[in-house]
Amino acid sequence: MNNMKLAHSSAIRAEVKRHESAKTTIKKIFKQLERVGDQELRSTLQLHLHSVQAACTNSQEWTLSRSVQELRLGVLGSLRSGKSALVHWYMTGSYLAVESPDGGRYKKEVLVEGQSQLLLIREEAGPPDAQFCSWVDGVILVFSLENENSFQEVYRNYSQLNTHRNIVEIPLIVVATQDKISSSNPRVIEDARARQLCSDLRRCTYYETCATYGLNVNRVFTEAAQKIAAIKRQASLQAACRSLPNTPSHSGDSTPVSGAFPGQASNGGQSSDYSSSLPSTPVGSRKDLRSMVPADGGGSAPPGTQGSTPRRRRFPHSSDAEKKSAESRGDVGSGRSIPVKQGILLKRSGNTLNKDWKKKLVTLSSKGILSYHSSINDYMQNIHGKEIDLLRVTVKVPGKRPPRAVPAGSPASGLNGVVSSPDGASAGPQFPSGLLTVEEGAGAERSFSSPGVQRCPSSLSNKGQSMDSASEGMSSPPSAKDTIPASPNLSDKKKKGERRKKSMNQKGDVAAGQAEDEENFDFIIVSSTGQTWTFEAQSLEARDSWVQAINSQILASLQSCESGKNKARKNSQSEAVALQAIRNAKGNGFCVDCDAPHPTWASLNLGALICIECSGIHRNLGTHLSRVRSLDLDDWPRELTCVLAAIGNHVANGVWEGCTQGRQKPIPESTREERESWIRAKYEQRAFVAPLPAPREAVGGAMPSRLLATVLERNLPLLLLLLAHSTKEEINAPLPSPQPHSALHAACQLADVVMTQLLVWYGSDVKARDSQGQTALTLARQAGSQECADILLQHGCPNEAPPAAATPGLSRKVSSASLSRSTSRRGFLHFSSDQ
């Protein structure tokens, strides 16, 4: 039985993968077809391709054994219902503001009561026809809470379904989406009407979802799959009972099951909260099918009573449960989700002496994990893989020219909002996206002997292997046959990467020292404990595409993680007070970009509040320009609330909109395009930044001197203005000699959390040393500022003791294991409490 389960699961995963890859290829061909000049030929080809597309949807009929159960789920809703975004979030774990006019066909492996099953999702473009109605095992009816028409469409679709199919046979879930609700686009379907809908559509379950941050989305699909599976089990049992005493027969049942009833296998062993509302021991029962369908009000989501669903109650719960059930079967990898992105990369060995490069298959999953394997075989079998948990990591693009350098008016962004730096203009040959070079950080083992900051662990992996010991490499050298073959391009790039990194090259075929810096497309993943992994892409496009994909997974992980802790957090009064202080800061009643009232999102580094619509655009800018967080959903460490409360929209716009030259800013009703164009001009091109005042004579014009003087004056608005005008290189330029240290040192010495945080976000070098060889961390500890110290540690400042050893009189009470050296009593005492 176990073997069969395993075989099912891997067959399903292979099929899902095949389907996804076929779909991707077809999509690419459609795209290419647009370039066919001859219109007639083009439409003929498109027609053919549509039929290929349709055929590939049913590929599982040819690849899966009949004992693999298919769960067929239909999704209905108008174009404005948010159904495409709902399905997209479920499939990828990320939000895409899409409405697909053609619908879509998807496959996903789902676990229902420990069994792998194939969920077929059919997102229908129009109203349900007879074929659809006879095909489905269950239906999700979607409408948007801000769209009256989409609400009416639910009734129309329901009645269509009813004409073609006995509706009591199939589970129905009504989903109300909140994605598009905003102050300018308020909710129009009130609770009472939603309740009425649920009582009109008998026996449905009702959910409100928000695909922007995944609220309830998994829950909806999991529940649909469970309900469908339960009904199928009942149906097959009935069929079996009818045919007693014969052996169970497949005939007369549209869904063949294997000889052993799936239901029996899990008798009594279920633990999902949903199943508790179902008859869980159906064996031998001859109850009528209808009585087995969960009645209204059963289960954890009684319809009609959940008009304003408590947002945070279910979502984390269900995703946790899902994750757990996946992890409990981690040995077969049945919980593995469809890769968001996958490609063959070179990975640099973590061994500090032997930095050779190995090709890896790198996979970004929708569960917030970046994993890599030595071979496709290993990936398929899910062995010898290593994983980076994207929770509590950030992605950086080293040496990337700050966006100010983007010439105003240049097409600064790509399709998906990927920032293209001017270097991109000469980005060289196009390599297939997904070709990257990976370097596993040496920084980690060098400076972080004991991670002082205990955050969410940054390393998870199969079989207890840990990323921490970077040198262990892959557990076994892959055999030649399944090793990923080298591509010439890859090795070329590799050499360049190695030259720049001045590393040892085993193959010895590298002419060291040649300057080809411009041709590297690196990005680095840094964990909160300082561990780093460096990647090198083959092209700017490939890099930006990876960075963006990873960033969106980081965001999704943060949100799903932190919303789980949210309830407890929200109870903490101090956080509530801090958030209130943010809301009260001058100008914070309205979105900093479009003036929509009551913004609920924040851009941390800009110190500003933004509405949900603008937040989507900010997120696309990338974290180097704007770090977006939700006031409602996220967890708020004190250093972050400090920054936001200290700046606020009024001050922020004093800097960023100091010089708009008459250009009109967006209003709450503006389109996304209008907002985006404004926001990009404002932060990416820095087109409206107030001019720099002339430097004071005593200070001089050099940016590091000006920053230092400004920090010493504690002039926050001016600091923001200077930062808005400077590049990372300017910030980190060497100081003219009489000055002892950098602005960051000064901010830490003053224990100024806000300035420290801002300087770090804008690229101030956390590892820089002052004239006495001290890092800013040393000064932060001397000043007794745990928060400043935390900021520095989180951003990769080496956690080391200063060269001047401990001052006398400190050693008592010191647990030598936890903290060995410190420079001042104050710094030590404060710090030790946290070690």
At position 795, the amino acid (one-letter code) is H
Tokens read off for 16: 């899902």
C-alpha span between 61 and 57 (Å, rounded)? 9
As a whole number of angstroms, the distance between CA 291 and CA 294 comes to 8
The nearer residue to Zn ion, 227 or 675, going by C-beta atoms, is 675
Verify binding: residue 621, Zn ion, rule CB under 5 A: no
| Listed ranges 333-341, 401-409, 589-597, 627-635: which one lies at the site for Zn ion (CB under 5 A) | 589-597
Min separation Cβ 146 and Zn ion, Å: 16
Tell me the window of 311-319, 490-498, 596-604, 676-684 that interacts with Zn ion (CB under 5 A).
Answer: 596-604
The end-to-end CA distance of the chain, in Å, is: 50
Judged by beta carbon, residue 522 or residue 593, the one nearer Zn ion is 593
Nearest-approach distance from CB 594 to Zn ion, in angstroms: 3
Judged by CB, which is closer to Zn ion: 344, or 602?
602
CB 777 within 8 A of CB 792: yes
Q: Which stretch binds Zn ion (CB under 5 A): 232-240, 486-494, 568-576, 603-611?
A: 603-611
Q: Which two tokens stand for residue 68?
A: 């693999």
The distance of closest approach from Cβ of residue 340 to Zn ion in the complex, given in angstroms and rounded to an integer, is: 27
Measured from the CB atom, is 82 or 616 closer to Zn ion? 616
Q: Which stretch binds Zn ion (CB under 5 A): 98-106, 264-272, 299-307, 604-612?
A: 604-612
For the bound state, the minimum distance from the C-beta of residue 417 to Zn ion, rounded and expressed in Å, comes to 16
Question: Binding Zn ion by CB under 5 A: which of 524, 542, 594, 789?
Answer: 594
For 390, the token pair is: 């994207």
Give yes or no for residue 657 binding Zn ion (CB under 5 A): no
Nearest to Zn ion of 172, 602 (CB atom): 602
> Angle CA(251)–CA(253)–CA(256) in degrees, nearest 5?
85
Residue with smaller CB distance to Zn ion, 593 or 684: 593
Residue 240 amino acid letter: A
CB of 603 to Zn ion, least distance (A): 11
Give 137 or 593: the residue with its C-beta nearer to Zn ion. 593
- By CB under 5 A, name the one of 194, 556, 614, 644 that touches Zn ion: 614
Query: Smallest gap, in angstroms, from Cβ of residue 762 to Zn ion?
Result: 23
Which of these ranges, 53-61, 195-203, 590-598, 813-821, lies near Zn ion under the rule CB under 5 A?
A: 590-598
CB of 672 to Zn ion, least distance (A): 11
Q: Please, what is the minimum distance in Å from the beta carbon of residue 614 to Zn ion?
A: 3
Q: How is residue 290 written in tokens?
A: 């209808």
CB of 674 to Zn ion, least distance (A): 11
CB of 613 to Zn ion, least distance (A): 5
Among the candidate windows 244-252, 274-282, 527-535, 605-613, which touches Zn ion by CB under 5 A?
605-613
CA separation, residue 89 to residues 137, 327, 664 (Å): 21, 21, 34
Q: Which long-range contacts (CB under 8 A, 24 or more apart) does 166-170 make?
A: 167/202, 168/203, 168/290, 168/293, 169/231, 169/289, 170/136, 170/137, 170/138, 170/139, 170/228, 170/231
- Order of all β-strands in the sheet with 601-603: 608-610, 601-603, 628-630
Query: In whole angstroms, how close is the CB of 668 to Zn ion at the nearest point?
Result: 7
- 412 lines the binding site for Zn ion (CB under 5 A): no
Instruction: Restricting to residues 111-170, name those near Zn ion by CB under 5 A.
Output: none
Nearer to Zn ion, 639 or 657 (CB): 657
Q: How far is the CB of 682 from Zn ion (least distance, A)?
A: 12
Establish if 612 lies at the interface with Zn ion (CB under 5 A).
no
Q: Cα separation of 785 and 501, whole Å?
A: 35
Helices (H), 147-296: 148-164, 191-200, 217-242, 262-265, 289-292
Token readout for 530 is 């300082």
| Collapsed DSSP state (helix, strand, coil) of residue 436 | strand
651 scored as a contact of Zn ion (CB under 5 A): no
- Cα 590 to Cα 395, 594, 650, distances in angstroms: 30, 8, 10
DSSP tag of 684: I
Kindly state the smallest distance separating residue 593's Cβ from Zn ion, in Å. Answer: 5
How many angstroms separate the CA atoms of 398 and 517, rounded? 11
Q: How far is CA 448 from CA 48, 347, 389, 465, 833, in A?
A: 58, 22, 18, 19, 19
Q: Which of 435, 524, 611, 750 binds Zn ion (CB under 5 A)?
A: 611
Which of residues 628 and 780 has its CB atom nearest to Zn ion in the complex?
A: 628
Q: Which stretch binds Zn ion (CB under 5 A): 383-391, 542-550, 610-618, 825-833?
A: 610-618
Element (H, E) at 134: helix 130-135
Q: Which is nearer to Zn ion, 616 or 802 (CB)?
A: 616
**By CB under 5 A, residue 593 contacts Zn ion:** yes
Task: Decide whether 136 or 596 has the Cβ nearer to Zn ion.
Answer: 596
The least CB distance from residue 664 to Zn ion, in Å, is 14
* Stretch of 37-45, 472-480, 583-591, 744-752 contacting Zn ion, by CB under 5 A: 583-591
772, burial (CB in 10 Å: exposed 0-12, middle 13-18, buried 19+) = exposed
- From the list 406-414, 461-469, 584-592, 630-638, the region that binds Zn ion by CB under 5 A is 584-592
Closest distance to Zn ion from the beta carbon of 592 (Å)? 7
Q: Is 628 in the site for Zn ion (CB under 5 A)?
A: no
181 contacts Zn ion (rule: CB under 5 A): no
**Minimum CB distance to Zn ion, residue 159 (Å):** 39
Q: Which of 278, 338, 369, 596 binds Zn ion (CB under 5 A)?
A: 596
Asked whether the beta carbons of 605 and 758 are under 8 A apart, the reply is yes
Phi, then psi, of 51 in degrees rounded to 5: -75, -30
105: phi then psi, degrees, rounded to nearest 5: -125, 130
Query: What's the residue count for the chain?
Result: 835
Tell me the residue type at 11.
A
Q: Tell me, by CB under 5 A, how many residues bind Zn ion.
A: 6
Q: Which residues fall within 8 angstroms of residue 44, CB to CB, at 6 or more apart?
A: none
Q: Which residues contact 715 (CB under 8 A, 6 or more apart)?
A: none
Which span (205-213, 316-324, 427-435, 609-617) binds Zn ion, by CB under 5 A?
609-617
Which residue number, 145 or 609, has a Cβ lying nearer to Zn ion?
A: 609
User: What values do phi and psi take at 370, rounded to 5?
Assistant: -105, 120
Candidates 71, 211, 591, 748; binder of Zn ion (CB under 5 A) is 591
Binding span for Zn ion by CB under 5 A among 328-336, 420-428, 538-546, 588-596: 588-596
Q: Tell me how far, at minimum, the Cβ of 804 lies from Zn ion, in Å.
A: 50
Helix (H/G/I), strand (E/B), else coil: 246? coil
Q: Which stretch binds Zn ion (CB under 5 A): 139-147, 339-347, 504-512, 592-600?
A: 592-600
Task: Give the integer Cα–Cα distance in Å for 607 and 600.
Answer: 13
Q: How far is CA 385 from CA 381, 550, 661, 795, in A?
A: 10, 18, 55, 27
Buried b (16+ CB within 10 A) or exposed e, 157-167: bbebbeeebeb
Binding site for Zn ion (CB under 5 A): 591, 593-594, 596, 611, 614
